[in-house]
């Protein structure tokens, strides 16, 4: 009888241990992996986006990787990165597309595999992304155009350098600026060029434009690389005090140019917020939670009068 009782007790113990182990296994934290593929690494802007993405990953307890091609001209390399990331069967994926059309076949593959796609900084020509965390680039560039018109008293020649004409950011920032400028009949846009977001290439382009149009009054650079090229060109040609220079983004060189009176001002995004909200949306999409289709991360104008305010300082980066 005692042996039977021991045997029953042992069986019950093993049974309860199995149940307990099963509960512990079910309570094990879900592993979520999210690759974040940016447009590049060469600008301080992307390092700030990375900082925001890592902050969200830490708060939500998920694993991310952050990568991008060496330059924003490397569309094919970004496509290879996206293809490789999808091959790892991630929980979700965040993408800042260099080409708003070229990525669509790979996004279709993600959708077919039930991998939620979150766009950040730049959208695509597709409804596949479940959300996009980005600045309203049309409105932001329209504000830059209004400021330009104000600084040049509503008349004169203006030139523009944009990072590209394939990404949604490039298209929207160009069009937002140009469309607003149509409201000022005495302002002429004399040239629009594309510098691939590369500082050196943008410098050479800006120098050529400045030399071709000696009466130029204003110059708009539509991203960090573009505007730094404009600033470098103005310095090399001794035109720092002759031109009204307006930029986009808020890296250290722009901050210094604004403080020194060389650049009139710029539109700043919220790069840390963009990275954070992209990863946050990816986590929620993976969990099946509802998220906004368009996550507006906001923008602000800054110049020498407000660059040191708390609101602006939170958007600047080095």
Task: Write the pLDDT tens digit of every residue in 190-203.
Answer: 999 999 999 999 99
Looking at the 3D structure of the chain, how many domains does it have? 2
Same-domain status, 149 and 127: no
Say if 292 falls within a structural domain.
yes
State how far Cα 106 lies from the chain centre.
20
pLDDT recorded at residue 19:
45
pLDDT for 317: 87
Same domain for 232 and 213:
yes
pLDDT tens, 62-98?
999 999 999 999 999 999 999 999 999 999 999 999 9
User: How many whole angstroms separate alpha carbon 315 and alpha carbon 271?
Assistant: 7
Q: What is the pLDDT of residue 11?
A: 46
Answer yes or no: do 38 and 184 share one domain.
no
Mean pLDDT calculated for residue range 144-162: 98
What is the spatial distance between Cα 173 and Cα 134, in angstroms, rounded to a whole number? 12
Residues 56 and 142 in one domain: no
Domain harbouring 283, CATH code: 3.40.50.2300
143 and 109 belong to one structural domain: no
pLDDT of residue 22: 47
User: Would residue 275 count as lying in a domain?
Assistant: yes
In a domain, 288, yes or no: yes
Domain edge (last residue) among 249, 268, 287: 268
Instruction: Give the model's pLDDT for residue 263.
Output: 98
User: What's the CA gap between 195 and 97, in Å, rounded?
Assistant: 17
Tell me whether residue 301 is exposed, middle or buried, using C-beta atoms within 10 angstroms of its C-beta: 0 to 12, 13 to 18, 19 or more.
middle
b/e code 188-205 from CB counts within 10 Å (16+ = b): ebbbbbbbbbbbebbbeb
Question: 11 in a domain, yes or no?
Answer: no
| Amino acid 30: pLDDT | 73
Q: Percent of the chain, pLDDT > 90?
A: 87
Identify whether residues 155 and 257 lie together within a single domain.
yes
At residue 125, does pLDDT exceed 80?
A: yes
Mean pLDDT of 274-292: 97
Q: How many CB atoms lie within 10 A of CB 171?
A: 19
Residues 259 and 285 in one domain: no
Q: The tokens of 156 are what?
A: 């004169």
Domain hosting 48: range is: 33-135+271-298
Q: What is the pLDDT, as a whole number, of residue 307?
A: 98
Q: Are 93 and 35 in contact (CB under 8 A)?
A: yes
Structure tokens given for 12: 């019950």
Average pLDDT over residues 235-241: 96
CA angle centred on 111, ends 107 and 115, rounded to 5°: 100
Contact 222, 141 (CB under 8 A): yes
Q: What is each CA distance from 145 to 86, 160, 182, 245, 290, in whole angstroms?
A: 40, 11, 10, 11, 36
- Taking residues 232-242, report their average pLDDT: 96
161 with 249, same domain: the answer is: yes
Q: Please indicate, yes or no, whether residues 275 and 174 belong to a single structural domain of this protein.
A: no
> Quick one: pLDDT at residue 6?
55
Greatest mean pLDDT among 4-8, 16-20, 120-124, 145-149 lies in 145-149
Give me the percent of the chain exceeding a pLDDT of 70: 91
Do 252 and 286 belong to one domain?
no
What pLDDT score does 27 carry?
Answer: 41
In a domain, 236, yes or no: yes
Whether residues 183 and 259 fall in one domain:
yes
Mean pLDDT to the nearest integer, 252-257: 97
Closest of 260, 262, 259 to residue 227, by C-alpha: 262
Q: What is the mean pLDDT of the chain?
A: 92
> Residues 182, 254: one domain?
yes
Across the range 150-179, mean pLDDT stands at: 97
Does residue 21 form part of some domain? no
Contact between 197 and 40 under an 8 Å Cβ cutoff? The reply is yes
62 within a domain of the structure (yes/no):
yes
185 within domain boundaries: yes
CA end-to-end span of the chain: 79
pLDDT of residue 5: 54
Is residue 4's pLDDT more than 80? no
pLDDT recorded at residue 186? 98
pLDDT value of residue 287 = 97
Write out pLDDT tens, residues 11-70: 444 444 444 444 444 444 579 999 999 999 878 899 999 999 999 999 999 999 999 999
């Amino acid at each position: 009888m005692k042996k039977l009782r021991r045997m029953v007790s042992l069986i019950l113990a093993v049974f309860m241990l199995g149940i307990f182990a099963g509960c512990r296994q079910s309570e094990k934290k879900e592993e979520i992996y999210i690759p974040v593929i940016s447009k590049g690494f060469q600008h301080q802007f992307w390092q700030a986006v990375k900082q925001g993405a890592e902050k969200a990953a830490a708060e939500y307890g998920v694993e991310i990787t952050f990568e991008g091609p060496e330059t924003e001209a490397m569309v094919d390399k970004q496509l290879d990165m996206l293809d490789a990331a999808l091959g790892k069967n991630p929980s979700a994926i965040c993408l800042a597309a260099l080409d708003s059309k070229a990525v669509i076949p790979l996004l279709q593959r993600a959708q077919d595999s039930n991998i939620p796609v979150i766009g950040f900084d730049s959208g695509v020509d597709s409804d596949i992304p479940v959300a996009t965390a980005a600045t309203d680039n049309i409105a932001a560039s329209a504000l830059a155009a209004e400021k330009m018109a104000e600084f040049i008293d509503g008349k004169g020649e203006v030139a523009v350098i944009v990072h590209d004409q394939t990404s949604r950011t490039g298209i929207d920032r160009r069009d937002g600026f140009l469309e607003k400028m149509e409201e000022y009949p005495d302002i002429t846009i004399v040239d629009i060029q594309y510098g691939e977001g590369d500082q050196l290439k943008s410098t050479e382009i800006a120098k050529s434009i400045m030399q071709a149009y000696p009466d130029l009054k204003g110059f708009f650079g539509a991203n960090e690389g573009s505007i730094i090229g404009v600033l470098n060109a103005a310095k090399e040609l001794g035109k720092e005090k002759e031109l009204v220079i307006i930029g986009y983004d808020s890296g250290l060189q722009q901050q210094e140019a604004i403080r020194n009176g060389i650049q009139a001002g710029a539109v700043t995004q919220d790069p840390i917020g963009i990275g954070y909200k992209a990863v946050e949306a990816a986590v929620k999409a993976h969990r099946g939670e509802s998220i906004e289709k368009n996550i507006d991360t906001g923008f602000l104008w800054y110049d020498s009068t407000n660059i040191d305010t708390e609101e602006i300082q939170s958007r600047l980066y080095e």
